Amino acid sequence: DFPDGARVLRAKIDMASPNLNMRDPVIYRILRATHHRTGDQWCIYPMYDFAHPLSDALEKITHSICT
């Protein structure tokens, strides 16, 4: 067991990329919180930057304006 934020899962991407956001981004983190659907079953959750385009694709959203 690890405390919240102690460990993360990173995507292995190109560390030489000129786009700083694509240099091994964090995609999952540990967060002990009660989820409205799954309760306390899980303690790992996806980061927004990873989950957002996936949910858009599942909902067939072709253009997304994010701020």
Using CA atoms, how far residue 4 sits from 29, 31, 42, 66, in Å, is 8, 5, 12, 27
pLDDT at 47: 93
Convert the pLDDT of each residue in 23-44 to its tens digit: 889 999 999 999 999 999 999 9
**66 lies in a domain?**
no
Domain with 38 in it: 8-58
The predicted model scores a pTM of 0.73
Q: What is the mean pLDDT of residues 30-59?
A: 93
| Residue whose structure tokens are 């694709």 | 57
Number of domains within the chain: 1
**1 lies in a domain?**
no
> Would you place residue 11 in the very low, low, confident or very high pLDDT band (cuts 50, 70, 90)?
very high
**3 lies in a domain?**
no
Q: Provide the CATH number for the domain around residue 29.
A: 3.90.800.10
Q: Is the pLDDT of residue 13 over 80?
A: yes
